[in-house]
Amino acid sequence: MTAAPAWTADPYALALRNGRGPLFLRRGDGWLLPLDVERWCEAPDRADRTVLARCRGTVLDIGCGPGRLVAALAARGHRALGIDVSPEAVARTARAGGSALHRSVFDPLPGEGRWDTALLIDGNIGIGGDPAALLSRMAEVLAATGTLIVECEDVDVDEHCEVRVADGRGAVGTPFTWARTGVRALTAHAAATGWSGTRRWTTAGRAFVELRRSP
């Protein structure tokens, strides 16, 4: 479920190392989903700052990438940790001033059951290709009163498919399963796994939902 080989090898690692794309998720039928590597490697933007403002207490960033949010949270005084299956992402997070572990969300994690906030940003609700399974896992990771902030697709979609990381110039990674989930679909997956939506918002074309465990 972790797709670790896809994210530890080129072209993803090379794009992170260089801080730029092009980089895509490529489906078997040739469809390409652009990955915004340049934005990931820059300081938090206006939409990111709406997420940072809603974080409280200790924060776990799942699939932290190059660590822009982890570093910003640390600068704000949070105890923040990123996890990522890419060693290059972990190294870049450390260089940015954040703390990160080379770990999958489905592996044992430090502080399980005690995190106040967890983040699934930049499409990371797609990790493992099964949003319901990922949401169930997040219930184990967060404290009972914890908050999960999820970035969704800004279109009405609920799909899972096999993809590869590709650079658009012929280099591709190994195949893995990924999911794309819009707000309506996330709300349904959340309700089925014991979560309730407390807030939703859209900034700069990016859609977010804040979830808490249902009473």
Count Cβ atoms within 10 A of the Cβ of residue 99 and give its class: 0-12 exposed, 13-18 middle, 19 or more buried.
Answer: middle
Per DSSP, what are the bridge partners of residue 80? Answer: 59
Q: Which CATH number fits domain 4-213: 3.60.20.10, 1.10.10.10, 3.40.50.150, 3.40.190.10?
A: 3.40.50.150
Name the residue among 108, 147, 103 with its Cα closest to residue 127. Answer: 103
Q: At what angle do helices 68-75 and 46-54 cross, to 10 degrees?
A: 50
Which of 178, 179, 177, 187 shows the shortest CA–CA distance to 207? 187
Whole-number Å distance between alpha carbons of 61 and 134: 14
- Return the pLDDT at 7: 54
Going by C-alpha positions, the residue among 7, 13, 60, 69 that lies closest to residue 40 is 69
Maximum alpha-carbon separation in the chain? 50
Cβ neighbours, 10 Å, residue 41: 19
| pTM of the predicted structure, to 2 decimals | 0.94
Which pLDDT tens digits describe the chain residue by residue (215 residues)? 445 555 555 789 999 999 999 999 999 999 999 999 999 999 999 999 999 999 999 999 999 999 999 999 999 999 999 999 999 999 999 999 999 999 999 999 999 999 999 999 999 999 999 999 999 999 999 999 999 999 999 999 999 999 999 999 999 999 999 999 999 999 999 999 999 999 999 999 999 999 999 88
Cα 166 versus chain centre, distance: 18
Show the tokens assigned to 29: 């039928």
Which parts of the chain are beta strand (E)? Answer: 24-27, 32-34, 59-62, 80-84, 100-102, 115-120, 142-152, 158-166, 176-181, 195-203, 206-213
pLDDT, position 88: 95
Domain ranges of the chain: 4-213
Instruction: Please measure the distance between the N-terminal and C-terminal CA atoms of the chain and give it in whole angstroms.
Output: 29
Please check whether residue 59 is in contact with residue 78, taking contact to mean a CB–CB distance below 8 angstroms: yes
